[in-house]
Amino acid sequence: MPPKTKIIRHRGLQCPFNSSQYISIFLHILTTLSFVAFATTTTSTSSLFVSILIFSTLTICIVSAWLFTSWVDSSLTPNRCERCFCGTLYCFKRAQLKTRYCAVSKKKVPEMDHYCVWMNTAIGSRNYTSFFLVALFSTLLLWFQMVISIFGFTNSNATTITLISSVVQFICAAGLAAPYTTLLFFHLHLIAKQISTFDYLMQQAKVRAAKRKAMKAEKTTNTETSPTTVEIKKSKIVTVDNEKSTTSTSTYET
């Protein structure tokens, strides 16, 4: 058999895509369609204009950040324009993260944070800022959709179609808001601690290994002490039997 060729994944938008990318794109399109359905059925024109403006602005920010994160090669050094933008907003300046080898992308990534399966690319110093902006703007957008959905199905003048579209939009937005909010606050925690996702996972793995080692040592200690307990119980049984035999002998002699 011919040896397998080493395929280096330069960017997230490089073919072939994985299933997680398709799922992510599909879910975002679904939430967008739910907003379009809500906007076409609402009766308030003034609030509709503001909602469309906010939704469009956040969507443009999300798509722009997502395209940048998925398109750039995180193994290369940023150019002058990227240094002005990403360097200013980069969150791990004090951490001085290491250059690590990404086993999935088959390349070395400067200041690697983690490999994002949903974008199918490695996240390093070059594209971490845009990755964080995707999480931030997506969280804001989804919570905004949930809020306007609540106003939609609590409006006394809402029609049946408006109520249905509001409920559908709320369900779609809430399903994505939960993981995005968790992701955002997780990375805010990492930024506050100045530790990468990779280092955090390694620390958690060490903690779990230490717990398993302590449990194993405790089981070993219990196993070593249990024979002594059995011997003590056996000696008590023998003593009781001897006492019974002595009592029966004395009774017989009497």
For 9, the 3-state DSSP assignment is coil
Cβ 195 vs Cβ 113: under 8 Å: no
Cα–Cα distances (Å) from 134 to 26, 131, 253, in that order, read 16, 5, 97
How do the domains of the chain map onto residue ranges? 19-195
What pLDDT sits at residue 176?
Answer: 94
Q: Report the C-alpha gap between 146 and 42 in whole angstroms.
A: 15
pLDDT at 152 over 50: yes
CA 231 to chain centre: 52
Higher pLDDT: 40 or 7? It is: 40
Going by C-alpha positions, the residue among 48, 51, 70, 47 that lies closest to residue 59 is: 51
Q: Output the CA–CA distances (angstroms, integers) from residue 177 to 20, 55, 166, 231, in the order listed.
A: 17, 15, 16, 61
**Are 197 and 114 in contact, with CB atoms under 8 Å apart?**
yes
**Tokens 């722009």 sit at which residue?**
64
Instruction: Say yes or no to pLDDT of 243 above 70.
Output: no
Average pLDDT over residues 86-106: 72
Question: For residue range 8-65, what is the model confidence (pLDDT) as tens digits?
Answer: 788 888 888 889 999 999 999 999 999 999 988 876 677 888 899 999 999 999 999 9
Looking at the DSSP assignment, which residues form a beta bridge with residue 122? 115
Find out whether 147 and 177 touch, Cβ atoms under 8 Å: no
Q: What local confidence, expressed as pLDDT, does residue 252 receive?
A: 38
Q: Are 90 and 123 in contact (CB under 8 A)?
A: no
Output the pLDDT for position 69: 92
Structure confidence by residue, pLDDT tens digits, 175-198: 999 999 999 999 999 888 888 888
As to burial, measured by CB atoms within 10 angstroms (0-12 exposed, 13-18 middle, 19+ buried), residue 113 is buried
pTM for the model stands at 0.78
- Average pLDDT of every residue of the chain: 81
| Residue-level pLDDT at 5 | 61
Lowest mean pLDDT among 2-11, 87-96, 97-106, 131-140: 87-96
Closest by CA to 159, choosing from 41, 51, 238, 68, is 41
**In the chain, pLDDT over 70 holds for what percent of residues?**
78
pLDDT at 240 over 60: no
Mean pLDDT for the stretch of residues 146-174: 87
How far apart (Å, rounded) are the C-alpha atoms in residues 23 and 29? 10
